[in-house]
Amino acid sequence: MRYILLCAALFLPGSLALPVLLKPEPWSSGDLKRIQNYLDRFFPPINKADGRTLEDKIKEMQKFFHLTVTGKFNSETEEMMDQPRCGIPDVLDYSTFPGNPRWRKNLLTYRILNYTPDLPRFMVEEAIEKAFKVWSDVTPLKFQKVARREADILIRFAHAHGDSYPFDGRGGILAHAFAPGSGLGGDAHFDEGEKWSQDHIGTNLFLVAAHEFGHSLGLGHSNVQGALMYPIYRYWNPDTFSLPDDDRQGIQKLYGNFSVRC
pLDDT above 90 covers what percent of the chain?
A: 61
CA distances for 146 relative to 31, 176, 254, angstroms: 46, 21, 25
Residue 97 · residue 5 · CB < 8 Å: no
Q: Is 7 labelled a binding residue?
A: no
Model pLDDT, residue 18: 38
Question: In the chain, how many domains are there?
Answer: 1
Q: Is 86 labelled a binding residue?
A: yes
Model pLDDT, residue 166: 78
**How many degrees, rounded to 5, is the angle at CA 108 between CA 203 and CA 218?**
65
Q: How confident is the model at residue 69 (pLDDT cuts 50, 70, 90)?
A: very high
Quick: pLDDT tens for 93-142.
432 233 688 999 999 999 999 999 999 999 999 999 999 999 999 999 99
- Tell me how far apart the alpha carbons of residues 172 and 83 are, in angstroms, rounded to a whole number: 7
Model pLDDT, residue 98: 38
Q: Is 159 labelled a binding residue?
A: no
User: Per the residue annotation, which of 60, 76, 192, 212 is the catalytic one?
Assistant: 212
Burial profile 155-183: b = 16 or more Cβ within 10 angstroms, e = fewer: bbbbeeeeeebebeeebbbbbbbbbbbee
Q: How many whole angstroms from its chain centre is CA 168?
A: 15
What average pLDDT score do residues 36-49 get? 81
Q: Is 200 labelled a binding residue?
A: no
- Tell me how far apart the alpha carbons of residues 85 and 208 are, in angstroms, rounded to a whole number: 9
Q: Is 76 part of the annotated catalytic residue set?
A: no
Backbone angles phi, psi at 217, to 5 degrees: -95, -10
What's the CATH number where 38 sits?
A: 3.40.390.10
Model pLDDT, residue 160: 76
pTM check: above 0.85: no
- The residues near 215 (Cβ < 8 Å, ≥ 6 apart) are 6, 10, 86, 88, 176, 177, 178, 179, 188
Residue 75 has pLDDT above 60, yes or no: yes
- Tell me how far apart the alpha carbons of residues 190 and 215 are, in angstroms, rounded to a whole number: 13
Model pLDDT, residue 93: 44
Residue 226 has pLDDT above 80, yes or no: yes
Residues in the chain: 262
Quick: pLDDT tens for 149-207.
899 999 999 987 777 777 878 888 899 999 998 889 999 999 999 999 999 999 999 99
Helix ranges (H only) for 137-226 are 205-216
- Tell me how far apart the alpha carbons of residues 72 and 229 are, in angstroms, rounded to a whole number: 26
Range of the domain at 94: 1-262
Q: Is 221 labelled a binding residue?
A: yes
Q: How many whole angstroms from its chain centre is CA 95?
A: 21
Residue 251 · residue 217 · CB < 8 Å: yes
Q: Kind of pairing, strands 107-112 and 85-86? A: unpaired
Residue 203 · residue 197 · CB < 8 Å: yes
Highest mean pLDDT of the ranges 5-9, 55-59, 91-95: 55-59
